[in-house]
Amino acid sequence: MTKIDIISGFLGAGKTTFIKKMIDEVFHGQKIVLIENEFGEVGIDGGFLKDSGIQISEMNSGCICCSLVGDFGKNLNEVITKYHPDRILIEPSGVGKLSDVMKSVIDIEKEQDVKLNALVTVVNSLKASKQMKAFGEFFNNQIEFATTVILSRTQNATPEQLEFCVKQIQNLNPKAAVITTDWDKISGEQILKAMEGQDTLEMELLAEERHAKERYCALAEEVSAKRRQAADDLGRAVTAVMDDLHMSGGRFAVDIRRCPAHAYGTDQVEFMVAGHAGTGLRPLARVASGGELARIALAISVIASRATATPTLIFDEVDSGVG
């Protein structure tokens, strides 16, 4: 089984330096693939050759370094199939969301013999507070979904700065292990034990939940836009038919308001009616008489039937005169 470690970190946090330390001190003897997704910028090595969207280079340590462009999930699948590594280190873009990269790996887990092993975020202890404020969700997402947060530049920080930084991180993610030791004073083996001692399952579920919510919101926006267009069309069409149903001067409209998310989107829909000229629009259920309700329902049925391919005949009051 291939272990996949995601090493995230904001721009300039030191994640490349951290990866080099781990390769030099811990991963000797393992077949390693390092994947960079830095919008085409490769920070570890140069001289890459493109191959189906995958740029590949042999590093001095024997590690294979790839820079994926295009379809990340598809290309990651190709790397696994081609190289069958013991471990994959993914270094996402400094402005990328950790949860997005996690989702790609979670999808790959369903197809390949791989395991999402460690979720690590490298944070510059001297800049964390400013970056949290300046970059908001993009920065915070990398902390919220990490199982291990490793602080860099701690040798240049005061004890007060470190304490404040740790508190901010714990406010975002109280379950993450936070390593504050100067990198020169801690071994790669010690760091690896901390990384692999954390359970990623909860973060995987949170990432899937986040993506499901984002997908729901996107679809809800599409539905809302179509619903509003259809509401205007339906309102005009029903109003035009009302004259033929002895409701001269009446109006029909569909009122759509934002509401908390539910099974049908983020809209609250209410039919509004003015039964006669000179009256204002009010909720249909409150102002219409039984006869008006029947006529408006007939008008809506007639309009709706025009949207179907099957011709429909509607007979109203078929019991008239019976008896």
Q: What is the pLDDT of residue 121?
A: 95
d(CA 287, CA 5): 63
Strand segments, DSSP code E, in the chain are 2-9, 32-37, 49-51, 54-58, 64-68, 87-92, 114-124, 148-152, 177-179, 251-262, 265-274, 282-283
Backbone angles phi, psi at 52, to 5 degrees: 55, 45
Angle made by CA atoms 286, 289, 291, in degrees to the nearest 5: 145
Angstrom CA distances, 163 to 69, 149, 157, 197, 299, stand at: 39, 14, 10, 23, 68
Q: With a cut of 70, which residues of the chain have pLDDT below it? A: 37-70, 94-95, 201, 203, 287-289, 307-323
Give the count of beta carbons closer than 10 Å to the beta carbon of residue 240.
12
Q: What is the pLDDT of residue 93?
A: 73
Candidates 92, 118, 112; CA nearest to 8 is 92
Q: What is the pLDDT of residue 290?
A: 72
Q: What is the pLDDT of residue 276?
A: 77
Give the count of beta carbons closer than 10 Å to the beta carbon of residue 210.
18
Backbone angles phi, psi at 231, to 5 degrees: -65, -45
Q: What is the pLDDT of residue 57?
A: 47
- β-sheet with 265-274: strand ranges across: 251-262, 265-274, 282-283
DSSP-derived 3-state class of residue 286: helix
Residue type at 27 in one-letter notation: F
pLDDT tens digits along 194-235: 998 877 767 677 777 877 888 888 899 999 999 999 899 888
Gyration radius of the chain over CA positions:
30
Q: Which residues lie below 8 Å from residue 166, measured CB to CB, with a gap of 6+?
A: 151, 178, 180
